[in-house]
Structure 1
């Protein structure tokens, strides 16, 4: 039986501006086949990476949504740790362009001993943009709306080719040169002119999985066009509806608004987080969100959320 390749999100931090005794500021690790992506890097991120037994050596792509401290103050400490561990792979940081200016003096301080390059990739705050791709996954940024320029991120598996049924290769004596075409959807014509439909020769691969990260933002329905049918959606929910006016003033979202985004996007599952430290529990957040979008969970530091293959 073929082993399923993992596609899973680990929450490292789910608090908003202030850390609490059981919640760190925003940070997440998304694991897709063979890759680990760090999304935001609040204080305490490297402590949480250790607690969750995530290999530091696996992380060399870091996505910083915006330049509020609770989303990047852990970055320089993490880079220092990666250096002390002797890692040599280049580190790619996708962030507002100003981040380089902010941390370059600290990097210069480490420069004599820095064993890897730090490569900055500036985000586009005007329109969606593909910012990373390889053979297995592609990543898009898209603008959100907050008191500081901010982007969300969409991670999508690259669709796999169709699976050819091995018994037909021998039965129809299919040449190796034709197999590639068949995997991409072509029919096969035998030497006597008979056409074998692709649907008979192959089976569908697993459906590509996806994850969207929507951090600090006002309620912004237009993003649902970008994240439509996403399997797993994280959306900030700093406040409940009882503080909707304050959410609007601070350019944040409520739990109900996050759920409405999930409903409009036809998401598979919603995780809400970035909770204001003024709340002692998050039960009201969950109740409020589930009244709009049933498949909702409240983020918990250390929890991992899997997206299954279908």
Structure 2
């Protein structure tokens, strides 16, 4: 399962009861933070989810409403006792920006590894030593890993969206294993997704397992105009978290100028991507009550809800 918390749902500037953009994901005892706007660590403290086990921070882009909470949060993480390295991933140009923010910190008791990406897919494995990260391919992933993919978006600075996928283990089929002549002493390893070399033969998990089952997929898209690559990227998501900076059609010119989206545009992406649920976030500070505009989205995609700070959600296998 994936446990999620919207730590901040505002865009541009914070207002009372709404901090700036941030999402926290908990999986297998580790935490991954997506963006870190002002107020992130306040929401974390109110939720009592802890700081020390944040192992990775993913940044969509370097505008202040998505990163200015970083210096304080990184300090708090160090004060919580963290000594293991931290990885921060973001779009091209993020290294220089983060290094500038880090210059304001006198000391951190852990190292930070900065990685710039455009469009990638990586596998995050969880073990007793922490996170292991590698490029995704069929041989590099196993059931229980978290696959993180990125997509270049259309904003006024380099910006990327993220998707998160947890593969589901197919059911073991003993009849299939027997019919394929697979020795019983190999069954357990094959069930774990391991390819085995046995007496000169390559024995693959597919020889003992049924077809793949649907896993858990979460997508997070913010600060962009709607572009035609998004529906394929988010396709099949159980939950699609998307910016809804502006609620009404009358804001279309502003949305185009500032490279953001209307509620209806986010809903159209959800419909085209065949997602199960749309959760709107990143609201303009002038929109104090996003709920008043929800029908603009629901007319296009009925399974739409409005996000709010410290909303928690659990995603399970279908």
Alignment RMSD = 2.7
Distance 2:105 2:291 in 1: 44
Distance 1:82 1:177 in 2: 43
Task: Give runs of aligned pairs for residues 122-161 of structure 1, distance below 5 A.
Answer: 122-124=116-118, 128-134=119-125, 135=142, 136-161=145-170
Q: Would the aligned equivalents of 2:153 and 2:159 in 1 still touch at CA under 8 Å?
A: yes
Of 98-107 and 235-244, more deviation after overlay is shown by 98-107
Distance 2:213 2:271 in 1: 24
Structure 1's 183 and 39: CA in aligned 2 closer, same or farther, altered over 3 A?
Answer: closer
Q: Would the aligned equivalents of 1:94 and 1:123 in 2 still touch at CA under 8 Å?
A: yes
Structure 1's 245 and 157: CA in aligned 2 closer, same or farther, altered over 3 A?
Answer: same
Of 251-260 and 206-215, more deviation after overlay is shown by 206-215
Of 33-42 and 67-76, more deviation after overlay is shown by 33-42
Distance 1:52 1:116 in 2: 24
Q: What is aligned with 1:102?
A: 97
Q: What is aligned with 1:229?
A: 236
1:63 pairs with 2:58: yes
1:26 pairs with 2:17: no
Q: What is aligned with 2:82?
A: 87
Q: What is aligned with 2:129?
A: none
Structure 1's 185 and 140: CA in aligned 2 closer, same or farther, altered over 3 A?
Answer: closer
Q: What is aligned with 1:191?
A: none
Distance 1:277 1:139 in 2: 30
**TM-score, length-scaled by structure 2:** 0.81
Q: SS at 2:286's partner residue? A: coil
Aligned mate of 2:291, from 283, 288, 291: 283
Q: Would the aligned equivalents of 1:161 and 1:184 in 2 still touch at CA under 8 Å?
A: no
Structure 1's 183 and 137: CA in aligned 2 closer, same or farther, altered over 3 A?
Answer: closer
Unmatched 5+ residue regions in structure 1?
1-5, 187-197
Q: SS at 1:56's partner residue? A: coil
Task: Give runs of aligned pairs for residues 1-310 of structure 1, distance below 5 A.
Answer: 6-108=1-103, 110=105, 113-124=107-118, 128-134=119-125, 135=142, 136-163=145-172, 175-181=184-190, 207-240=214-247, 241-310=249-318
Q: Would the aligned equivalents of 1:206 and 1:309 in 2 still touch at CA under 8 Å?
A: no
Structure 1's 12 and 178: CA in aligned 2 closer, same or farther, altered over 3 A?
Answer: closer
Distance 1:34 1:206 in 2: 24
Q: SS at 1:309's partner residue? A: coil
Instruction: Give 1:222 deviation, angstroms.
Output: 2.2
Deviations 1:169-210 (A, max 9, x none): 9xx996222444467699xxxxxxxxxxx99x8677863101
Q: Would the aligned equivalents of 1:164 and 1:182 in 2 still touch at CA under 8 Å?
A: no
Based on CA coordinates, which of the two structures has the bigger radius of gyration? 1
Distance 1:104 1:220 in 2: 31
Unmatched 5+ residue regions in structure 2?
126-141, 196-205
**TM-score, length-scaled by structure 1:** 0.83
Of 34-43 and 252-261, more deviation after overlay is shown by 34-43
Deviations 1:204-235 (A, max 9, x none): 78631011000101121321112211111011
Structure 1's 173 and 102: CA in aligned 2 closer, same or farther, altered over 3 A?
Answer: closer
Structure 1's 173 and 216: CA in aligned 2 closer, same or farther, altered over 3 A?
Answer: closer
Q: Would the aligned equivalents of 1:163 and 1:202 in 2 still touch at CA under 8 Å?
A: yes
Give aligned pairs, total: 286
Q: Would the aligned equivalents of 2:170 and 2:213 in 1 still touch at CA under 8 Å?
A: no
